[in-house]
Amino acid sequence: MNLAVIGTGYVGLVSGTCFAETGNQVICVDNNATKVARLQNGEMPIYEPGLEVIFNRNTKQGRLTFTTDLESAVKSAEVIFLALPTPPGEDGSADLSYVLGVAEQLGKIIDSYKVIVDKSTVPVGTAEKVHAAIAKNAKVEFDVVSNPEFLREGVAVEDFLKPDRVVIGTSSDRAREVMQRLYEPFVRQGNPIIFMDERSAEMTKYAANSYLAMRISFMNEVANLCEKVGANVDHVRRGIGSDKRIGNRFLFPGVGYGGSCFPKDVQALHKTAKEYNYDFRIIDSVMKVNHDQRFILSKKIKEYFNNNLKDKKIAIWGLAFKPNTDDIREAPALYIIEELVAAGATVTAFDPEAMDNVRQVMGDKVALTFGHYDALHGADALAIITEWSLFRTPDFNKMAQLMKSKVIFDGRNLYGVETLAEAGWYYNSIGRPI
């Protein structure tokens, strides 16, 4: 099939590349000429494991191309994916101006039947708005389909090629047949393509992300209470996760969820509920809990040093919002660093992938180091914020030699509490005994 993907952000680039991998002819469109030139040159704008290999294969074989020319890309495509940004507006609702702006242009361009697919996370009712925006100018038939994306950064390629499920919202049989054909190669293991109406598909995406965010906030609260009652959240997590109704994934407490999706989508669902005069109380709590959880580690550090961080050097391991990405959008590390610096601390930090991005937003507020051990020189404490594999089995003797004091605040529960206590460390993690 001939496909056009409009927007070469995370979702657009991964989707376009993976669709090319299953033999489709894919043209990706972006209005950022510099970005397009780089992509045409084979440069990856994001770090995503496994993406580069299939990107190179498909660009070499001519199945994956890039352009700024919307018109020619759209005319030759049977299916057009909208993978455009939907940033939160000031009131928390998703800003649809990019999506609707492109939809209006599409109406002027299309000259034969097209399936136009909303791939971005968009509020309930957007498919209808996109339809109306295209219909203003369109002289040919078209269908608008809602096809939310569930991929996770860091494992995006795997998630896209082998999805747990594909959700397609459409009320048109013609579009349904096209989408079925397109996605069949991805669900060969028997995972379902779930067809539904457009509004339900849009709602599914928000409900999925908000549910996962709720699970994390719930576990963060359980962890905070574990600390007070003297329980260990590791045991509690295993204890509840082995119940099949609960399941053992996505139950890890930490320093709050971050990234470009959960905070934005939870907020947007809250806003949608408000618009419909529905008081979605659980979502309200999820946001409040996550707000506070971001400051858990900095609060613990401040308390430990009696609220006086002047002349204290805090080392940080992990800046990306999660491992295997360079993404720092809504990363808890940024909030924690701001707090520590505001309290007078000097901060040194290391992350395997995200340091260039941090340098751009934080400047010299934080000293970034070449390796993870380099960040520890003379440090009064180490704070672990992202659970990169690199940090899981460090050389504790070397760390003790480099640091001023043997103090670790671990926001991701990487080490055994007893092992560190026996080795003479002060080790304060999340929801576990000190």
Which residues carry out catalysis? 261
Of the candidate residues 96, 145, 151, 157, the single one contacting ligand UGA (CB under 6 A): 151
Helix (H, G, I), strand (E, B) or coil at 17: helix
The answer to whether residue 202 forms part of the interface with ligand UGA (CB under 6 A) is no
Q: How many residues bind ligand UGA (CB under 6 A)?
A: 20
Q: Please give the Cα distance from 257 to 371 (Å, whole number).
A: 26
Does residue 251 belong to the site contacting ligand UGA (CB under 6 A)?
A: yes
Give 134 or 168: the residue with its C-beta nearer to ligand UGA. 168
- Strands of 242-399, DSSP E: 313-317, 346-350, 367-368, 381-384
In the numeric block, which tokens belong to residue 314?
């805090």
Query: Which of 76, 83, 65, 60 shows the shortest CA–CA distance to 9?
Result: 83
Task: For residues 234 and 267, give the distance between their C-alpha atoms in angstroms, rounded to a whole number.
Answer: 29
User: DSSP states of 356-417 as a string?
Assistant: HHHHHHHGGGSEE-SSTTGGGTT-SEEEE-S--GGGTS--HHHHHHHSSS-EEEETT--S-H
Q: Which stretch binds ligand UGA (CB under 6 A): 15-23, 71-79, 252-260, 295-303?
A: 252-260
261 sits near ligand UGA (criterion: CB under 6 A): yes
Q: Verify binding: residue 267, ligand UGA, rule CB under 6 A.
A: no
> Binding to ligand UGA (CB under 6 A): which residues in 295-324?
321-322
Query: Rounded distance, CA 410 to CA 433, Å?
Result: 12
218 annotated to bind ligand:
no
Q: Which of 366, 297, 298, 362 is nearest to 328 (CA)?
A: 362
DSSP for 72-85 reads HHHHT-SEEEE---
Query: Does 247 carry a binding-site annotation?
Result: no
Min dist CB 148 to ligand UGA, Å, is 8
Residue nearer to ligand UGA on the CB measure, 17 or 65: 17
Is 152 part of any known ligand binding site? yes
Candidate segments 51-59, 74-82, 126-134, 258-266, binder of ligand UGA by CB under 6 A: 258-266
Q: 362 to each of 307, 342, 365, 377, 384, how far by Cα in Å?
A: 23, 13, 6, 21, 18
The single residue among 16, 123, 258, 394 that binds ligand UGA, judged by CB under 6 A, is 258
Dihedral sign of CA atoms 148, 10, 316, 366 in order: negative
From 257, 373, 391, 415, residue interacting with ligand UGA (rule: CB under 6 A): 257
| Region from 56-64, 76-84, 108-116, 151-159 binding ligand UGA, contact rule CB under 6 A | 151-159
**List 197, 235, 238, 250, residue binding ligand UGA (CB under 6 A):** 250
The residue (of 151 and 403) whose beta carbon lies closer to ligand UGA is 151
Which residues of the shown chain bind ligand UGA in the complex (CB under 6 A)? 121, 149-153, 209, 212, 216, 250-252, 254, 257-259, 261-262, 321-322
